[in-house]
Amino acid sequence: MLRDEIKQIMPHREPMLLLDEVYLDENGEAVGKYEVRGDEWFLQGHFPQKPIVPGVIQCEMMAQACCVLFIEDLKGNMPLFAAMDKVKFKCVVEPGDTLELRCRVKKVRKPFYFTEARAYVGEKLCASGEFSFVLMRG
């Protein structure tokens, strides 16, 4: 699904909607993409001479892609971070890069969802972590 379709299931809006597209693959993994254009608000001042995508923004991108894993339960609910664990950053993400976000469910104990995610530029792993969410009535 593309941005307009994502907006139908997610409460995020610009400038915090950080997915260009997302889908569930044949293995049940969520796969999201975001092209870093260079004019994003989070690059202003981070850093002026060599802009890089902040790690917390990469976490938010992975988290938004994770939400597609529980798409049926999102209707009428708001996904909120409950925890982040084992988050690691391996390389910088710069303007011109396209991040591919790969996410899978580890376990579900409604209203809690436990996931793990990885962010790649090409074949290079840039970030990874475990994310848990709680769905609150929205």
Which domains does the chain carry? 3-137 (3.10.129.10)
pLDDT in tens, 45-69: 999 899 999 999 999 999 999 999 9
- Mean pLDDT of the region 81-99: 98
DSSP letters for 48-116 = TTS----HHHHHHHHHHHHGGGGHHHHTTEEEEEEEEEEEEE-S---TT-EEEEEEEEEEEETTEEEEE
Active site residues: 46
Burial grade of 41 (CB within 10 A; 0-12, 13-18, 19 or more): exposed
Contacts of 136 (CB under 8 A, 6+ apart): 77, 78, 80, 111
Question: How far apart are the two ends of the chain, measured CA to CA in Å?
Answer: 22
Residue 76 has pLDDT above 80, yes or no: yes
Q: Is a pLDDT exceeding 80 seen at residue 138?
A: no
Region 70-94: mean pLDDT is 95
* pLDDT tens figures, 111-132: 999 999 999 999 999 999 999 9
Cβ atoms within 10 Å of 107's Cβ, excluding its own: 9
pTM for this entry = 0.96
